[in-house]
A and B are shown apart, each in its own frame.
Chain A
Amino acid sequence: MENNLKAGYFPGCSQTGTAREYDLSLRSVAEKLGTELTDVDDWNCCGATSAHVTNHTLANALAMRNIVQAEKQGLTEMVAPCAACYNRLIVSQHETQIHPELKKEIEAILDSKIENPVQVMNIVELFTKIGADKVKQAVVKDLKELNAACYYGCLLLRPSDITHFDDAEQPTSMEELIKLTGAKPVEWNFKVECCGAAHSIARKDIVVDLSKKILDDAVAHGANVMVVACPMCHTNLDMRQKAIKKEYPEHKEIPVLYLTELIGLALGMDEKELGINLHTVKFELKKETA
């Protein structure tokens, strides 16, 4: 295939653990679409919420070390599939670009110059880059049985003046993408509502409440599956459904897929290949009777 995309890949910690299936499905889908992903050498944790809520210099330094690593590798584009990692990387990059004194400080800590040529992409942008046509051509299975609620969460779109990606309140890019697979996107209210993210462990009660509200709205608007683009959202929406069920026994479960998994299914891969069997809420496509 000609015009194959080459991009750097920043997996992020979750992809090596709780979100193993995200990593798995991304790599398989990328391969199928002829996209070559190069892992960032010896990447470290972006610092996540914990760093920036307690020490902003530390947060920027941790994130920028990865940018510098990618830079040294000669990467010009880099996908960070985890929305939180994406947010941390792109924000730190922006901050160091507009505040020279901060840049100097971080350069001193990292003992390395920051040139900032690397363009950080989120997962949706990666697919846009690959091209709708290419994805569409590769689809072998029509997912028309799926009524999907696309969930962007908070960090994929924000801060909108830095990410410059889609409308911050009424985004549509993920919907456009999944339409290619035949799945039907549903219009619902909480595409960009927060699920509680980092409070997953320390304040499970909050996460249970917020996730429940989001899941309920999706179901109320006719969704039979949710699509996410962030391991943290996935943890809260999928894994926490057990806890939700415990708290609210009448809760109606709804499977939660990663965007990459949904596309993988359309490209003809099976659930196991994509790691969907690892989810808390079970999901299987209807078996074709033909």
Chain B
Amino acid sequence: MKIGVFICHCGENIGRTVDCPRVSKAAEWFPGVVHSVDYKYMCSDPGQNMIKDAIREKGLDAIVVGSCSPHMHEKTFRKAALDAGINPFLCEMANLREHVSWVHDDIEEATQKAIDLTRMAVEKVKRNQPLATIKVPVTKRTLVIGGGIAGIQAALDVANAGYEVVLVEKEPSIGGHMSQLSETFPTLDCSQCILTPRMVEVYQHPKIKLMTYSEVEKVEGFIGNFHVTIRQKARHIDASKCTGCGLCITKCPIRKKAFNSFEEGMAYRPAVYVPFPQAVPNIPVIDETVCTYYKNGKCGVCVKVCGREAIMFDQQDKLVTEEIGAIIMATGYKLYDISKKPDDSFIKGYGEYGYGKYKDVIDGLQFERIASASGPTSGEFKRPSDGKEPKKVVFIQCVGSRDDSKGFSYCSKICCMYTAKHAMLYKHKVHDGEAYVFYMDIRSGGKMYEEFVRRAIEEDGVKYVRGRVSKVYEQNGKYIVKGEDTIAGMPVEIEADMVVLATAMIAQENASTLAQTVGIPYDKYGFFNEAHPKLRPIESTTGGIFLAGACQSPKDIPESVAMASAAAAKTMVLFGSDMLEREPVVARVNELLCGGCFYCRKVCPYSAIEVREIKDRNGVVIKEVAYVNDGLCQGCGTCTATCPSKSVELMGFTNEQIFAQIAAL
């Protein structure tokens, strides 16, 4: 093997403390080195040409460049090697700048270390193997999980670009939390009015396959090549026959057995129902847990009234598999149920505010429903306990947010804004009413946000009190709210008619289970982790899986929508080529030697190790061995260190290469 060594001065950067000519002289004597030079700037065009010419003229098989960190210029020199006709993975670097000249002062010491590092690189490169980039085909279909505003936006963007989309939503209708909202900040436009057209667009889009009342059960494969299993839960309605006339819903005799979750428990729904009138698709669902038919086989009123024979009591869950190239996670959030503490600890959360005990102590989404024109009170302000108009309403912020003791350390980000909106909506409808907001800080960064909060205070006369409330208790039909104004330094007690708690936004139910199913990491709160907090906020660390909206952290509508469009753009980047190229730094198993203990499989962070059966001529399985899926392997090498019989190697970092480096010390 003919090896060339190229030592770079990096101007003065290396040359000042490392005697570069001496290093290149020393390298001449290393076994296998046939050419060794030093030059002012190896990364410059003349420098690169020097390398290319040497490769061609001297017939070099491999090169070592002694210059800066490989993180800086490995790509540059590998490209040069490729241009000159040798495999780019037969190029190694010795880091003489960051690890030598910049950190040592003594020229003698530095030069000696530079020689050692160069020798190690030479010994390594001798054992390098030519590697070919790995190519995998891409299925150009996107799976969007979650049909809230983020999922809707992402699905529409991808579909409008001409790619097929499968949109999976676990509820019977898409729309998410946004469909529950009354008006939205900071413009106070009606949430339903801007959302419903989008929902219909999704339904009618020829490129979108909408699967409501469905959940993702299994995800296999890797970027560009996912195989996804989806469970379509039984609606007990034949969707192909149902016209959405709603006769079954109006005739269903079960009226007061099940709470309406869309109305946040402030109303009832029948056993056969659509979550809300504008639901998409407008196909009802039969709730087995309350329907009389499932109790005793009787009733069947819906069957009688349905002119289309669409009721199917014996319908079963169905498993559907889809071939997918990219996945967008848009599973959203849920509100922290403050009647319970998140862990299984003995202490329950916020007993001091009496949520769950007093009917008129409600959370933010319940308030949205009361304020909504389509809500249980048709938009009139009536308190849940006695239907009277509340004349004094207290809003408490940061309930469960910024609370290490009973909730979560993070700020839920949207509560300052929606509380201002709530107070404003209330004041707009109840002119003689009083609204108090207890806050700790007002966080209103965003276009027109601070102006919005000021409007609530200046124009609508909402009173802001800086301090956390300690206790809410009931006395003669009023709720005594005990607080402290920390600015005045005075205790404050307010006799309120209704109390609204801005409870924390937390990760969706079972978010961590879904993350495990899909194979992406999540943080301690259950929010999905982005690949890099600043530079890769849309991607998960798993290739081909992107994040949109509040599943990543608390977000408001414009942020969720922006993120959804960004995720859609990311999938289109992926779909821009037919084949995916990957660095060939992946693990390889020697199947002859593999003993089949599968420790590699246990430690692999990417589930990239598969089981392969070795059969004899008669097709009888002799043994099972490990096999690396190139698409999934990210090249960490944890398997190689774990393997007891050393039957798995990481390409580019083989044990032989490392031993050679150690031996060259």
Query: Within residues 141 to 191 of chain A, which ones have a CB less than 8 A from any CB in chain B?
Result: 160-161, 164, 166-170, 189-190
Interchain CA distance A70-B558 in the complex, whole Å: 64
Taking a contact as CB atoms under 8 Å apart, the answer to whether A170 and B348 are in contact is yes
Chain A 239-265 interface residues, beta-carbon cutoff 8 Å to B: none
* 23 A-B pairs with C-beta separation under 8 A: A160-B346, A160-B347, A161-B347, A164-B346, A166-B346, A167-B346, A167-B348, A167-B351, A168-B347, A168-B351, A169-B348, A169-B350, A169-B351, A169-B352, A170-B348, A170-B351, A170-B354, A170-B357, A189-B473, A189-B474, A190-B473, A217-B475, A220-B475
What's the Cα separation between A217 and B352 when bound, in Å?
A: 16
Neighbouring B residues of A170 by C-beta, 8 Å: 348, 351, 354, 357
Cα distance, A168 to B406, chains bound together (Å): 11
Cβ-Cβ contact count across A and B, 8 Å cutoff = 25
Question: In the complex, what distance in Å separates the CA atom of A164 from the CA atom of B346?
Answer: 7
CB distance from B337 to the nearest CB of A (A): 15
Interface SS of A by simple majority: loop
Question: Within 8 Å CB of A164, what residues of B?
Answer: 346
* Cα–Cα, bound, A190→B473 (Å): 9
Measured between beta carbons, the chain A residues less than 8 angstroms from B352 are 169
Chain B 442-474 interface 0/1 with A at a Cβ cutoff of 8 Å (1 = within): 000000000000000000000000000000011
Q: How large is the interface on A (under 10, 10 to 19, 20 to 34, 35 or more residues)?
A: 10 to 19
Docked complex Cα distance between A220 and B357 (Å): 18
Given contacts A166-B346, A189-B475, A217-B475, 4 further A-B contacts (CB under 8 A): A160-B347, A170-B357, A189-B474, A220-B475
A residues within 8 A CB of B346? 160, 164, 166-167
Name the interface residues of A93-115: CB closer than 8 Å to any CB of B: none
Question: What separation, in Å, do the CA atoms of A31 and B455 have in the docked complex?
Answer: 69
Q: Beta-carbon contacts of B343-372 to A below 8 Å, as 1s and 0s?
A: 000111011101001000000000000000
> What is the interface of chain B, defined by CB distance below 8 A to chain A?
346-348, 350-352, 354, 357, 473-475
Is the contact region of chain B dominated by helix, strand, or loop, or is it mixed? loop
Q: Residues of A with Cβ closer than 8 Å to B?
A: 160-161, 164, 166-170, 189-190, 217, 220
List B contacts of A220 (CB < 8 A).
475
**Nearest-CB residue, chain B, relative to A161:** B347
Min Cβ gap B358→A in Å is 11
Q: What CA separation (Å) do A53 and B42 show in the bound complex?
A: 73
Query: Which chain B residue shows the least CB distance to A187?
Result: B357
Write the chain A residue with the least CB distance to B357: A170
Cβ-closest chain B residue relative to A217? B475
**Assembly CA distance A217 to B473 (angstroms):** 11
Complex Cα gap A160–B349 (Å)? 12
B600 to chain A, nearest CB (A): 41
- Complex contacts, B350 vs chain A, CB 8 Å: 169
Nearest-Cβ distance from residue A156 to partner chain B, whole angstroms: 14
Q: How far is the CB of B110 from chain A (nearest CB, A)?
A: 47
Chain B nearest CB, measured from A10 CB (Å): 24
Please indicate the chain A residues that have their CB under 8 angstroms from the CB of B354 in the complex: 170
- Report chain A residues within 8 Å CB of B351: 167-170
User: Which residues of chain B have C-beta atoms less than 8 A from A161's C-beta?
Assistant: 347
Q: Which chain B residues border A166 with CB–CB below 8 Å?
A: 346
Q: How far is the CA of A168 from the CA of B346 in the complex (A)?
A: 10
Q: In the complex, what distance in Å separates the CA atom of A148 from the CA atom of B580?
A: 74
* Bound: A213/B475 CA distance, A: 12
A164 to B352, CA, bound (A): 17
B406 to chain A, nearest CB (A): 10
Q: Give chain A nearest CB distance to B377 CB in angstroms.
A: 27
Residue among B347, B351, B357, B475 with most chain A CB within 10 A:
B347
Enumerate chain B residues within 8 angstroms of A167, measured Cβ to Cβ: 346-348, 351
Contacts of B347 in A (CB 8 A): 160-161, 167-168
Q: How far is the CA of A166 from the CA of B348 in the complex (A)?
A: 9
Contacts of A160 in B (CB 8 A): 346-347
Query: Cα distance A166–B345 when bound, in Å?
Result: 11
